Amino acid sequence: MKYFKYYLLAIAMIILDQVVKLAVHFNMEMGVAGQIYLLGDVFKLHYLTNPGMAFGMQLGSENGKLILTVIRLIAMVVIAVYLYRLAKKEVHTGLLWCGALILGGAIGNLIDSIFYGVFLNNAPYDAPNPWFHGQVIDMFYIDIWEGRIPEWVPLFGGDYTALWPVFNVADASIFVGVAIIIIFQKSFFKEAEHEEDDAIEASPSIAEHTPSDDDETRNAQSVG
């Protein structure tokens, strides 16, 4: 039970993420028409749906969304188990809290993918079925720059886009968790490195365990 506090943070992020998404869905119009300015032209609420993964990228097949959702489901299980194992090893608590943020964010977006196509009817029109084909709801928009990308840019040339993507609470939770791990990685993983060094220093060397030829000769002479 002492590890439950980390999962409790993940649950809190899931609840917050879903509350915000549902509030946006039921109270805002999609796109520019329903846009709400929070901090001038820089920070806005902008309701849109994302059928794929980060930056709207998709797997190019009929079952691409299903495959992506299954991958998210597997990743969620892996993260949850890994978080428990890290907690049992008593690693730096900061790493565990970051893991909880990442787990909560992953589950938050997974809920959209699994259920929103059915309960919010937001699956793409060409989806084989609504289950596992729900679109993720995004709403936070930091408007740094938007416009048409030059044609010569690979992959995205000619697209009208924004410099900063629209994101949600789950995305922010994942981003913060990963960013903190990267920034404080030396502190988070220092204890593990010290434990390995101590283990190496404490273990006897091979030379101490392996008898030398001189030792075997002396032992033979003493027996004779």
Active-site residue set: 138, 171
| Dihedral Cα 184, 185, 190, 193, nearest 10 deg | 180
H or E element, residue 16: helix 4-27
Q: What's the rounded Cα separation, in Å, for the pair 203 and 207?
A: 12
Q: What are phi and psi of 209, to 5 degrees?
A: -95, -25
CA–CA distance from 33 to each of 21, 28, 97, 99, 123 (Å)? 18, 9, 38, 37, 21
Q: What's the rounded Cα separation, in Å, for the pair 224 and 217?
A: 11
CA–CA distance from 17 to each of 21, 83, 104, 112, 125 (Å)? 6, 20, 9, 10, 25
Residue with tokens 């913060």: 176
With vertex at residue 62, the alpha carbon angle to CA 60 and CA 64, rounded to the nearest 5 degrees, is: 55
Bridge partners, 141 (sequence order): 44
Q: What are phi and psi of 147, to 5 degrees?
A: 170, -170
